[in-house]
């Protein structure tokens, strides 16, 4: 029976086969395995260079899956690969580090819209700009090609997603501390927010140490095309918390909701056929938008124009209210005419 088992074991020692390998010894210089062959097997030279990262997660006597890459090297030893273990192990390490709130070391790459891209053993991740300390917040490009320590905020193998924080590592912020701060914040309550950065889609803020975003649509009741014209980096603004995201511990904030919605009671204020004064603020292919007051605009549709009008941006005009839709937050206007156009309803 022993001879038969030995024969079967030796038969499995073929290049490409995956086998169970028992760790006999391990160090930064290499790993030795018992794979049931005449001689012990060793880890391939390329993977020995990576082994130091995984040493805390391996132990003598453990049995793991390995793949034969050479049945017998020039030194007489079989050579095996732990590549499959490494690939799976990277995500296991990240999950464990996140749970224990331990730091990892990453290599920083380029800075893009989403933040600073990083690499952890071949896994690509990102440091959101708001997760940088003040030193790098203004100049994130300085991190390029640097090796730094970070803390893990999100890790998801299925989505191939890794989000980390340089600030949490540098300032020694724990996840428990952040969760406690997050739980104390109340939806609907007003807070002071420090503006950390402004982007195309809004302003990143910090409220009592918790990350938040004022989306561009929540800055003003007026149409906002450039957030930086309303909010400046490093200033402090009053905001109201609109929503809390318990998954990533982030806040959705609003500036405009601290002001009365100008569309409340709009039908009474601007009834049909009322003559109004306004300013042309922009031209679209389907007509001209007229500002009646901050946050309230009306449209003079191109079908209501003869083509002979000489309308310009910034021009003050008189017009009549044709129709108001509170639900759609839309108002149709027409210019004064001796006779109402055929299309007027």
Helices (H) and strands (E) in the chain, counts: 8, 20
Q: Please give the pLDDT value at position 241.
A: 98
Domains 2-81 and 266-334 equal at CATH topology level = yes
Q: What topology is assigned to 185-258 in CATH? A: OB fold (Dihydrolipoamide Acetyltransferase, E2P) (2.40.50)
Residue 282 has pLDDT above 50, yes or no: yes
DSSP calls for 164-211? EEHHHHHTT--HHHHHHHHHH--TT-EEEEEEEEEETTEEEEEETTEE
Q: What is the mean pLDDT of residues 172-185?
A: 90
> What CATH class has 266-334?
mainly beta
Q: Please give the pLDDT value at position 247.
A: 79
Q: What topology is assigned to 101-170 in CATH? A: OB fold (Dihydrolipoamide Acetyltransferase, E2P) (2.40.50)
- Work out the pLDDT band at 6, boundaries 50, 70, 90: very low
The 10s digit of each residue's pLDDT in 29-84 is: 899 999 988 889 999 988 888 787 778 778 899 888 899 999 888 888 899 999 88
How many Å from the N-terminal Cα to the C-terminal Cα in the chain? 98
DSSP state of 242: E
Q: Please give the pLDDT value at position 65.
A: 87
Three-class SS state of 66:
strand
Greater confidence, 300 or 209?
300
pTM: 0.63
CATH dotted code for 2-81: 2.40.50.140
Residue 284 has pLDDT above 80, yes or no: yes
- Work out the pLDDT band at 338, boundaries 50, 70, 90: low
Structure tokens at 67: 């793949």
Domain definitions of the chain by residue range: 2-81, 101-170, 185-258, 266-334
Residue 155 has pLDDT above 50, yes or no: yes
Residue 256 has pLDDT above 90, yes or no: yes
Q: How confident is the prediction for the chain on average, in pLDDT?
A: 88
Of the listed ranges 120-134, 234-248, 295-309, the least confidently predicted one is 120-134
Q: Please give the pLDDT value at position 339.
A: 52
Comparing C-alpha atoms, which of 47, 41, 46, 49 is closest to residue 24? 41
Q: What is the mean pLDDT of residues 289-312?
A: 92
Q: Please give the pLDDT value at position 320.
A: 96
- Work out the pLDDT band at 317, boundaries 50, 70, 90: very high
Q: Please give the pLDDT value at position 113.
A: 75
Q: Please give the pLDDT value at position 11.
A: 46
Greater confidence, 44 or 13?
44
Comparing C-alpha atoms, which of 218, 226, 223, 262 is closest to residue 243? 218
Residues 180, 209: contact at Cβ < 8 Å?
no
Q: What is the mean pLDDT of residues 120-149?
A: 88
Residues 206, 193: contact at Cβ < 8 Å?
yes
Residue 8 has pLDDT above 80, yes or no: no
């Amino acid at each position: 029976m022993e001879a038969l088992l030995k024969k079967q074991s030796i038969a499995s020692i073929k290049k490409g086969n995956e086998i169970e390998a028992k760790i006999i010894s391990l160090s930064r210089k290499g790993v030795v395995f018992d794979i049931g062959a005449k001689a012990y097997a060793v880890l391939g030279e390329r993977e020995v260079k990576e082994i130091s990262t995984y040493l805390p997660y391996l132990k003598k006597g453990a049995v793991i899956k390995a793949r034969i890459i050479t049945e017998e090297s020039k030194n007489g030893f079989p050579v095996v690969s732990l590549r499959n273990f490494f690939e799976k192990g990277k995500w296991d390490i990240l999950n464990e580090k996140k749970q224990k709130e331990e730091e990892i070391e990453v290599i920083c790459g380029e800075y893009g819209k989403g933040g600073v891209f990083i690499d952890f053993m071949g896994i690509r991740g990102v440091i959101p700009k708001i997760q940088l300390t003040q030193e790098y917040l203004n100049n994130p490009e300085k991190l390029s090609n640097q090796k730094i320590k970070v803390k893990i905020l999100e890790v998801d193998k299925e989505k191939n997603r890794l989000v980390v924080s340089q600030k949490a590592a540098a300032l020694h912020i724990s996840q428990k501390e952040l969760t406690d701060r997050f739980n104390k914040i109340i939806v609907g309550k007003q807070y002071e927010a420090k503006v950390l950065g402004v982007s195309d889609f809004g302003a990143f803020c910090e409220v009592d140490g918790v990350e938040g975003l004022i989306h561009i649509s929540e800055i003003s009741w007026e149409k906002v095309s450039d957030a930086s014209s309303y909010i400046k980096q490093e200033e402090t603004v009053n905001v109201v918390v609109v929503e809390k995201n318990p998954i990533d511990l982030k806040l959705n904030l609003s500036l405009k909701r601290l002001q009365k919605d100008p569309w409340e009671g709009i039908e009474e204020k601007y009834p049909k056929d009322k003559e109004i004064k306004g300013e042309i603020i922009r031209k679209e292919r389907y007509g001209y938008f007229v500002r009646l007051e901050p946050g309230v605009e009306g449209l003079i549709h191109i079908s209501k124009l003869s083509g002979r009008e000489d309308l310009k941006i910034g021009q003050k005009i008189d017009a009549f209210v044709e129709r108001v839709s509170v639900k759609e937050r839309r108002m149709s206007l027409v210019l004064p005419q001796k006779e109402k156009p055929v299309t007027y309803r």
